[in-house]
Amino acid sequence: MFKKLFVSATSACFELKNKNPYYSPEKYSVILNGVKQSDVRDTNVFSLFGLNPDTEYTVETTLGGKIVFTTLPETAVVDAKALGAKGDGKSDDTYYVQMAIDSCPEGGRVLLTDGIYSVRPLVLKSGITIELEKDAVLLGDIKEENYPFVPARKLRGGKEEIIASWEGEPFACHQSFISAYGQKNIRIIGEGVIDGNAQNSTWWATPKGRKVARPRLVFLNKCADVVFHGVTCRNSASWNLHPFFSRNLKFYDLKIKNPYTAPNTDGLDPESCDKVDIVGCTFSVGDDCCAIKSGKKYMGMTYKTPANRHTLRNNLFCDGHGAIVLGSEMSGGVTNLKVSQCVFRHTDRGLRIKTRRGRGKYGIIDGVCFENIKMENVITPLVINMYYFCDPDGHTEYVRSRDRSIKPDDGTPYLGKFLFKDIDCVDCECMAAYFDGLVEQPVKEIVLENVSFSYKNDAKPFLPAMLENVREYCKEGLYVDNVESLTLKNVTFDGVVGEKIIAKNVKNIIEE
C-alpha cells in the first residue's frame, strides 16, 4: 500500500506505507495506466514525471495498492527556448529565463527542456510552476560581481524588515542564485538540476571574513505554500536551500549534493519557518545535511518566531558533519519536531543539537522525537551540546564556564524533552551519545527506548562535540552531564569499551 504526497500538472509523488527507514522491504516496479515502468525502485518514496495536465491516471506497484489521481490543470506553458534561450551552456540565458518567469500567468508553467542554461541570479514570483525536465540544468554564473549586494534590512512604514541574513543575524549578502521575497504558491519540479557552479568560482576559496556573505543556492524569504519536487540541487556557494520566516513548505524526493570539502554548504536549513515537510530526500553535503534554525539572540528576542511543526521522514543523510542539526542559531526556539524512518550514513554526528549561553530565553527546544532511525558508520550518533564554541566570543569564559553559582538570565536557552525510540546504530566510533547541559539550566528530560549501539572494530578516537575542554573518545558509551531526568529502556551496547553510562549531575536515572 502507498499514499499520495503531491500532484502537480505534470508530476506526482507517492510514499509506501511501511516502517522501514528510507528503503522499501523489497524492490518493486510502478505500473502507470496498466503499463509497467522500466525502472525498478527500492525506496519508500517514488515519483512520476512527464505527465499530462488535467488528466486522470491510475498508479499501482508490484507490492500492491492502487491510487487514481488527476493532475492539475494549467493556464499556460512558457518555454524558455521559445523565447530565445539557447541552453548551450555558453550563452547568457538570464534574460530569457527571467522573462519566462515574469511573463508566465498565474497557474502557468515555465518549461526548461534539456540543455544547460547559464544564468545570473533569478527571482521567482507567485502562482507559477517551474519545471526542469530531465537533462535540463540551470547553471550559475561564476563571477562574484554578477551577484548583487542585498542589504540586511530595509524600513517600510518605519518598521524594520529583514531582507538578508547569514548565520542567524541580519547581514548583507550576495543575491542568491534563486530567490523569492513574500511570494506564494510556487512549485519547482522535475528531474533536472539547479547547479550553483561554485566549484568553478571563488566562493569556496574565500568563505570566511567576508563583509557581504556568500549567496545561497535558493533563498525563500517570507514565502508560503512552496513545493520542491524531484530536482537535484548541487554545488552551492554556501547553503543549498534556505527558507526564512516562511510557512507551509514541502520538499519531496530531492537530491542535494555538494562535495564533502565544500565549506558551509548545508543541505536544507529552514529558519524560523512553520510547517515544513521534508520527505524522501537524499543529502550528501559539505556541512550539516539539514539544520533547523531560528536565529541568534537579536532575531529571537525581537521576532520570537520558532521553527515549528517540522516533519522529516524517509530521508537519507550522508557524509555531512551532522545528519539533522538543531541550531546553533535557535534563539527563537524549535518546537514540535518529528523525525522518522530515516537513514543516517557516514556523518560525523547523527542528531546534533548545538546551543550556548547567549542564545536567549526564547531559545527553547522542546517536543523533539526521533523514531525508527538507522545509523550506519556515524561517528557519534547522538549529541546535545550546550557549550558550542561558535561566534567571536565562543571561547570565552562566559560560554565555557562550569561554575555552579551561575544563574539563568535573559541569555540562557532551555532544552526540554527529547525522545529517541527504535534506533539502531551500527559501526559507531567515538561514543554512543554525548549529552552536556548547562550547569544553570540542565536538559529537562532524555528518553532512550529500544536503542542499540555497536562499534567498528577499527574505530578511531574522535571529539564527540565542538566545545572546550572535551577529550577524544573511542568506542565509549553514554556521557550525560547536567540532565534532570534520563530514562533508558532496552538500550544495548555491543563492543563498548569501559563504562556504558558515565553520568554526572543527573537527578534521576531510570533503567528498564
- List residues with catalytic annotation: 287, 321
Distances in Å between the Cα of 203 and the Cα atoms of 142, 146, 164, 367 are 9, 13, 18, 37
Q: How far apart are CA 327 and CA 293, in angstroms?
A: 5
| Closest residue by Cα to residue 461 from 446, 473, 448 | 473
Q: How far apart are CA 418 and CA 319, in angstroms?
A: 24
Three-state DSSP at 381 gives strand
- How many other C-beta atoms can be found within 10 angstroms of the C-beta atom of residue 421? 16
Hey, which bits of 456-512 come out as E strands?
Answer: 476-494, 501-511
Q: How far apart are CA 207 and CA 477, in angstroms?
A: 36
Residue with cell 488527476: 70
| Closest residue by Cα to residue 382 from 349, 407, 415 | 349
- What the block records as the C-alpha cell of 351 is 542528531
Q: How far apart are CA 491 and CA 342, in angstroms?
A: 19
Residue with cell 502507498: 2
To 5 degrees, how large is the angle CA 292–CA 343–CA 389? 40
Look at strands 23-32 and 12-16 and give their pairing. Answer: unpaired
Which residue type, as a one-letter code, is found at position 254? Answer: L
Three-state DSSP at 461 gives coil
Q: How far apart are CA 197 and CA 174, in angstroms?
A: 15
**What pairs with residue 489 in β-bridges?**
449
Distances in Å between the Cα of 111 and the Cα atoms of 85, 134, 137, 140, 194 are 11, 11, 12, 18, 14
Supply the DSSP symbol for 191.
S
Supply the DSSP symbol for 398.
H
Burial 441-471 (b: 16+ CB within 10 A, else e): bbbbbbbbbebbbbbeeebeebebbbbeebe
Q: How far apart are CA 240 and CA 178, in angstroms?
A: 10
Q: How far apart are CA 424 and CA 341, in angstroms?
A: 11
To 5 degrees, how large is the angle CA 451–CA 456–CA 460? 115
Largest distance between two CA atoms of the chain: 71
